[in-house]
C-alpha cells in the first residue's frame, strides 16, 4: 500500500509517500521560518495562507521524486490535530478532496502519534512496549506505548512545554526566531558552573513536568547578570542543563516505575544534542535502549504522517466525506486499530 502523507499542523508543510513494502519513497518539506521571523513567532493566518500555496506543489514534487502518478496512490493520510485550526483545515481539505477525486480512502492522523511512531522509519525500530518521551514546542509528555493506539499517558507538562520554554527564553536573550535551536547552539559556547537553575518538579513523586518557572528564573538571571556574549552563553548552558536534566530524571523514573527498558524520544526537542547524549548514556547504564528519529524527522514532517496513516489504513480505518479537525486532541483518546505492525 502506498500512502500520501500531508502535514500542515503549524509552520511546516510536509509531504511524503510511504510504501508498506518498500518504505519511504519520497519526502518533501517546506519551512515557514523566514515568513514568521519578522514577527518573532508563528502567525496563524500567515501560516494557513502559506500552506494553501505550498501543499499542492509539494505533493506534485513528491510524486515526481517517487516516480509515481496519482493512480499509484492507495490512500491519503493527513494531520487532523492537534495544531492551528486554520493550518489543519488546509491539509484536511486538500487530503480529503484528493482522496475523493482519486477514489482512495483517507485517514485522519493524530500529530503526536506521528511523532511517536517516527522512529519506526529507522532501520532499527523499537519493539512494543516502550516508554515514549514526546518533547516539542507544544507538548512534553511521557506515554506508555503497548501498540498502535494503545497509549497510556503517564505524565505531561502542567504549563509550558520544554520546546516552548526554550523558545521563550531565547526571545528573552534576544535570539532570533526560531529561538530553541539558536539557544542550544549558544549553550555549546557556555562554561559550566557559572549558574545553577532549578530542576522543577523533580523533588516530588510523579511524572508531570513544569517549565514556566525556568523561563522566569532565566529572565531574572539575565536582568542581574548583564548581556555580554559569554554571559549569555553561560546562561544558555545552565538553562539547557536544567531542561535536559529534568527530562532525563523523569524518563529514568518512568522506566523504573514501569519496569521497561526501551525508550523512544521524538518531537522537535529530540534533536537536541545534549539530550541525546545524556539519554544514550543513561540507556547504556541500565542495559536498555533509546530510539530517536533522524534529525529531519524530529520536527514536523509528512513522513511520520504517511507512516502512521499507513498503519491505520492497513487495518481498515478511514474517514467519511466530512472534513473534521481537532485543534485540541488528547493522545489517549485514540482508538486501537484492528491490526498492528
Residue positions in the annotated binding site for substrate? 134-138, 167, 180, 272
Instruction: List binding-site positions for Fe cation.
Output: 111, 115, 300
Query: Can you point out the beta strands (E) in the chain?
Result: 2-7, 12-19, 23-31, 75-81, 106-110, 130-135, 140-147, 150-156, 262-266, 289-291
Give the three-state DSSP class for 112.
helix
Which residues, in sequence order, are bridge partners of residue 264? 132, 291
Give the three-state DSSP class for 12.
strand
Instruction: List binding-site positions.
Output: 111, 115, 134-138, 167, 180, 272, 300
**Structural contact between residues 54 and 30, judged by C-beta atoms closer than 8 angstroms:** yes
Which residues, in sequence order, are bridge partners of residue 92? none
Interior/surface letters 240-279, b for 16+ CB within 10 angstroms, e for the rest: bbbbbbbbbbbbbbbbeeeebebbbbbbbbbbbebbbebb
Amino acid at each position: 500500500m502506498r500512502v500520501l502523507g500531508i502535514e500542515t499542523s503549524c509552520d511546516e508543510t510536509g509531504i511524503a509517500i510511504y510504501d508498506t513494502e518498500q518504505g519511504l519513497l519520497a519526502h518533501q518539506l517546506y519551512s515557514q521560518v523566514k515568513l514568521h521571523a519578522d514577527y518573532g513567532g508563528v502567525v496563524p493566518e500567515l501560516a494557513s495562507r502559506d500552506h494553501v500555496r505550498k501543499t499542492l506543489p509539494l505533493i506534485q514534487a513528491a510524486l515526481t521524486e517517487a516516480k509515481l502518478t496519482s493512480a499509484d496512490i492507495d490512500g491519503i493520510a493527513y494531520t487532523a490535530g492537534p495544531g492551528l485550526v486554520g493550518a489543519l483545515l488546509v491539509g484536511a481539505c486538500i487530503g480529503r478532496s484528493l482522496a475523493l477525486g482519486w477514489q482512495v480512502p483517507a485517514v485522519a492522523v493524530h500529530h503526536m502519534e506521528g511523532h511517536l511512531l517516527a522512529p519506526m522509519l529507522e532501520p532499527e525500530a523499537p519493539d512494543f512496549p516502550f516508554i515514549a518521551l514526546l518533547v516539542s514546542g507544544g507538548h512534553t509528555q511521557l506515554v506508555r506505548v503497548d501498540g498502535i493506539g494503545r497509549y497510556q499517558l503517564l505524565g505531561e507538562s502542567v504549563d509550558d512545554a520544554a520546546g516552548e520554554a526554550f523558545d521563550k527564553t531565547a526571545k528573552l536573550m534576544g535570539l532570533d526566531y526560531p529561538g530553541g535551536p539558536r539557544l542550544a547552539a549558544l549553550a555549546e559556547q557556555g562554561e559550566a558552573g557559572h549558574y545553577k537553575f532549578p530542576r522543577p518538579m523533580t523533588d516530588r513523586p510523579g511524572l508531570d513536568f513544569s517549565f514556566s518557572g525556568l523561563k522566569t528564573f532565566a529572565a531574572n538571571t539575565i536582568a542581574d547578570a548583564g548581556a555580554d556574549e559569554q554571559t549569555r552563553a553561560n546562561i544558555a548552558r545552565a538553562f539547557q542543563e536544567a531542561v535536559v536534566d529534568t527530562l532525563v530524571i523523569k524518563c529514568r523514573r518512568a522506566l523504573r516505575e514501569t519496569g521497561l527498558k526501551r525508550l523512544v524520544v521524538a518531537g522537535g526537542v529530540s534533536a537536541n544534542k545534549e539530550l541525546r547524549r545524556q539519554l544514550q548514556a543513561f540507556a547504556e547504564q541500565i542495559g536498555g535502549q533509546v530510539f530517536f528519529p533522524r534529525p529531519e524527522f524530529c520536527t514536523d514532517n509528512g513522513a511520520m504522517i504517511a507512516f502512521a496513516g499507513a498503519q491505520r489504513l492497513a487495518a481498515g480505518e478511514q474517514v467519511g466525506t466530512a472534513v473534521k479537525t481537532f485543534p485540541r486532541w488528547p493522545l489517549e483518546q485514540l482508538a486501537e486499530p484492528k491490526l498492528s505492525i
